[in-house]
């Protein structure tokens, strides 16, 4: 019989804070009532800073981040439009697959899993596209499968350097609300996230931020859409309502989650994620293991994909952690199955929780056959956290 609660250290869905759960414990309400719109409009206003925008429309689609992916594509592109994408992890693979299945002409650049969006190669290709056949350029900001964060600003610079008018699409599902995201500064036209990661809510909302340029593109795009029609959403959401029944309880949870983010402060949220991620990375290095991310510049502050040696099956590490220690670690996806396990360190997380994740990982690695020195990773993370706390005290004084 299991006792206590199961620790959740996957990169999404993430832990839902108690006050967010309590906020959702409300009776059903009339989604057409005259005061309902105020709830939605408040969410939109407070989501804009999280996306790093002052002007973009923010649309809340009942669904998931995948639904918001589809909304971004079908509302701004026409069948046969050429788009430029890269595959370097499971979620960028899935986005490419969606674009192909929706009938777009997808030019794909494949890179080893562990690398990021190939900014230099994108720049060369865009510069060569003199007739501007490419209508959309896609970036997976944070590749959840590999723990890699790509350079969105670099892709925008590449577009600007050759005066290319293509729309810039960004998947921010595992980055927005956890990593700095500057939609306006980076010239992002369509940014996608979901409710279940940095926003600390259950899955159920796909969130799409749309630039004025993307809105204009939607007026002539010829892809079929109905449920995800941006025009319907923008018309209704201007007053805080939905074209169909919204998940009202989840909206109340989102209200509480955004209040938490506002109280902590966005810069402090980003700093905390970096501090906790560094603790995980210090622990991994102390174990003598490496990350999937090809270089430190690509390290993600929301998830670490940890490579195991050939003598160890990462699936055993994950199985042992769950069965024996009530802890969920992230699995290796697709070609990384058995080769990595992942520790998600985003959302409602603190130092003690990170130390628990590292401690259970040590036990599980040991039982899976890796000759680990108990406490090595935990101790390295503790030293990092102690140093960070000391530096914070000195700065406050």
Domain boundaries along the sequence of the chain = 7-13+266-396, 18-262
Place of tokens 């719109």: 37
To the nearest 10 degrees (0 to 180), the angle between helices 248-264 and 36-51 is 40
Q: Contact 309/365 with Cβ under 8 angstroms?
A: no
DSSP one-letter code for 296: G
The CA–CA distances, whole Å, from 105 to 110, 224, 309 equal 16, 16, 39
Q: For the chain, how far is it from start to end, CA to CA, in angstroms?
A: 49
The total of other beta-carbon atoms located within 10 Å of residue 159's CB is 21
Q: Which CATH number is 18-262 given?
A: 3.40.640.10
Q: Residues 341, 304: contact at Cβ < 8 Å? A: no
**What's the CA gap between 119 and 105, in Å, rounded?**
20
Low-confidence ranges of the chain (pLDDT < 70): 394, 397
Residues 6+ apart with CB under 8 A from 112: 88, 294
- Please name the residue ranges forming H helices in the chain: 18-23, 36-51, 65-76, 90-101, 119-128, 152-161, 183-186, 212-218, 230-237, 248-264, 266-287, 314-325, 351-367, 376-396
Q: Taking the CA atoms of 332, 61, 187 and 220 in sequence, report the sign of the dihedral they define.
A: positive
Give the pLDDT of residue 394.
Answer: 67
**Degrees to nearest 5, angle at CA 242 with 68 and 12:** 35
pTM value is 0.97
CATH number at 7-13+266-396: 3.90.1150.10
């Amino acid at each position: 019989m299991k006792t206590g609660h199961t620790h959740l250290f996957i990169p999404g869905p993430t832990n839902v804070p108690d006050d967010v759960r309590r906020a959702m414990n409300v009776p059903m309400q009339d989604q057409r009532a005259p005061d309902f719109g105020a709830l939605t409009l408040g969410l939109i206003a407070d989501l804009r800073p999280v996306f790093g925008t002052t002007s973009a429309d923010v649309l809340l689609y009942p669904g998931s981040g995948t639904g918001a992916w589809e909304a971004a594509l079908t509302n701004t592109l026409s069948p046969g439009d050429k788009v430029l994408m890269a595959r370097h992890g499971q979620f960028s693979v899935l986005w490419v697959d969606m674009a192909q299945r929706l009938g777009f002409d997808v030019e794909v650049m494949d890179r080893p899993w562990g690398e990021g969006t190939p900014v230099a190669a994108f720049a060369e290709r865009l510069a060569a596209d003199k007739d501007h056949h490419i209508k959309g350029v896609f970036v997976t900001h944070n590749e959840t499968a590999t723990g890699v964060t790509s350079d969105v600003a670099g892709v925008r610079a590449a577009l600007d350097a050759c005066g290319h008018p293509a729309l810039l699409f960004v998947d921010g599902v595992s980055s927005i609300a956890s990593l700095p995201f500057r939609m306006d500064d980076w010239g992002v036209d369509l940014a996608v996230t979901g409710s279940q990661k940095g926003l600390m809510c259950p899955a159920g909302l796909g969130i799409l931020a749309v630039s004025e340029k993307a809105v204009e593109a939607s007026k002539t795009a010829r892809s079929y859409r109905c449920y995800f029609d941006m025009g319907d959403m923008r018309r209704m959401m201007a007053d805080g309502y939905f074209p169909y029944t919204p998940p009202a309880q989840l909206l109340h949870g989102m209200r509480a989650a955004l209040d938490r983010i506002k109280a902590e402060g966005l810069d402090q949220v980003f700093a905390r994620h970096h501090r906790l991620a560094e603790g995980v990375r210090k622990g991994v290095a102390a174990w003598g293991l490496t990350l999937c991310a090809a270089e430190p510049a690509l390290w993600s502050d929301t998830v670490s994909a940890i490579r195991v040696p050939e003598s160890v099956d990462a699936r055993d590490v994950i199985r042992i952690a769950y069965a024996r220690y009530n802890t969920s670690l992230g699995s290796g996806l697709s070609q990384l199955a058995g080769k990595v396990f992942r520790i998600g360190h985003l959302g409602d997380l603190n130092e003690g929780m990170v130390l628990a994740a590292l401690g259970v990982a040590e036990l599980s690695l040991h039982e899976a056959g890796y000759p680990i020195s108990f406490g090595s990773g935990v101790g390295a993370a503790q030293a990092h956290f102690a140093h960070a706390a000391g530096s914070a005290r000195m700065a406050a004084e």
